[in-house]
Amino acid sequence: MDRNSSVVMTYLIECAGDPARFAAKIASDQSTGTFVELPGETPELKARVAAKVVAIRELPSQEIPSFPQPDTGGPFRRAEADIAFPLEAIGDDLAALMTITIGGVFSIRGFSGIRVIGMRLPDAFTKHYPGPQFGIDGTRRLTNVYDRPLIGTIIKPALGLRPQESAEMVKELIESGVDFIKDDEKLCGPSYSSLPDRVNAIMPLILDHEQRTGKKVMYAFNISHIDPGVMMKNHDIVADAGGNAAVVNINSIGQGALLFLRQRSRLALHAHRNGWDILTRHPGLGMDFSVYQQFWRLLGIDQFQINGIGSKYWEPDDSFVRSFHDLTEPLSGERERPMPVVCSGQWGGQAPETYRRTGQSLDHLYLCGGGVVSHPGGPGAGVKAVQQAWDAARAGIDLETYARQHPELKQALQKFGTHGGG
């Protein structure tokens, strides 16, 4: 089978029996079927559209959690299986790709674990999707920040602040030199803080600061909505007011809604992946980020949240590092790469390790919530502390040493210590 005309999926499987036989079960079940021949089927037709196992790599037995099921028995064997699905059967539709290669796989009998760990898409498939409109280069152009990570923060608390109260915090943040501010993903337009009211309160501050200093802080308003039409109206409210970015809760709105938005968008699209952990937290189920992120990159995400070093959530540092590097890998036909967004409990204290573990990359948005707004000196001092931490990291100077001459960083070290910023 020509891999240039096929989508190749890699599955980590756990089963009680021969992994090659179980991999073949996935291939047949998800393409031509396993039970009966239908009128009109021919060997030639099946050969054209049938998925095929192209490689099996059995793995040493490992002690991982398994789901006991009456038809699996034991002992369990684990393997990686590469299965090629012909484009003739999938076409160029992401929904068809999800349905055929992932949608029904997890319901097949006999497995105690299935995880999607790889996906290779040919040019003939990816060329049909727009990809990021702005990505790393576009985000840098919009913020005029080229020689360092972008420093960003989140308006906290997520719920409860009225537009004018949010605007007061924004005013202090933009005066401090922050590059990026975003709505929290949970702020989806409640009655006390509607999107039009937030835009009307905040955008004049952004534009006035730009007029006085030449620096336009990027503010990403949360435009997410289950109705794509309403979401587009939200988009237009932001864009018409002079905004240049938007938060989209990608798992909440869905792939079709994101494509609808991207095809009409004038804003940099910042992805919050809330709900992602449902798909990946169990090591023997779900999918790797390397697969997941390809769908959203094809659909046009410009900035992608991926947690960070010492995250406040469950994800280990090694997983974050892999996700960071996944986003740096070129995707077939992609003209712009999305900007990784380092987030979740970040403050200046993680800057040195982030710099080291990402290969001294500067091409990311370093996003701190409580690590900025909970600083003892206020949000403005919080921004300065993060900037100072990154200056120290790039210069190879220990944070404690650098803090002796930088009071904002010193206060942050005293407040957060080895803990994240929340």
What residue has token string 């970040």? 346
CATH of 135-416, one of 3.20.20.110, 3.40.50.300, 3.40.1160.10, 3.40.50.1820: 3.20.20.110
Cis omega before residue 75 (within 30°)? yes
Does the pLDDT value for residue 1 go beyond 70? no
What residue has token string 């790889």? 118
pLDDT tens-digit readout, 12-66: 999 988 999 999 999 999 887 755 565 666 666 666 788 999 999 999 865 555 5
The superfamily (CATH) of domain 3-126 is: RuBisCO large subunit, N-terminal domain (3.30.70.150)
**How far from the centroid of its chain's Cα atoms is residue 143's Cα?**
21
DSSP for residue 146: -
What residue has token string 């091409």? 363
pLDDT tens-digit readout, 243-285: 999 999 999 999 999 999 999 999 999 999 999 999 999 999 9
DSSP one-letter string for 41-87: --HHHHHHH--EEEEEEEE----------TTT-S--EEEEEEEEEEH
| Structural element, H or E, at residue 135 | helix 135-143
CB-CB neighbours of 63 under 10 Å: 5
Residue 175, token pair as written in the block: 């005066």
Does the pLDDT value for residue 237 go beyond 60? yes
Q: What pLDDT score was predicted for residue 42?
A: 65
- Least confident among 49-63, 186-200, 320-334, 372-386: 49-63
Domain with CATH 3.20.20.110 in the chain: 135-416
What residue has token string 């390809």? 294
Please indicate whether residue 39 or residue 182 has the higher confidence score (pLDDT).
182
Q: Which of 168, 188, 161 is nearest to 272 (CA)?
A: 188
CB-CB neighbours of 123 under 10 Å: 9
Q: Which of 407, 388, 381, 399 is nearest to 176 (CA)?
A: 381
Domain with CATH 3.30.70.150 in the chain: 3-126
Contact 291, 116 (CB under 8 A): yes
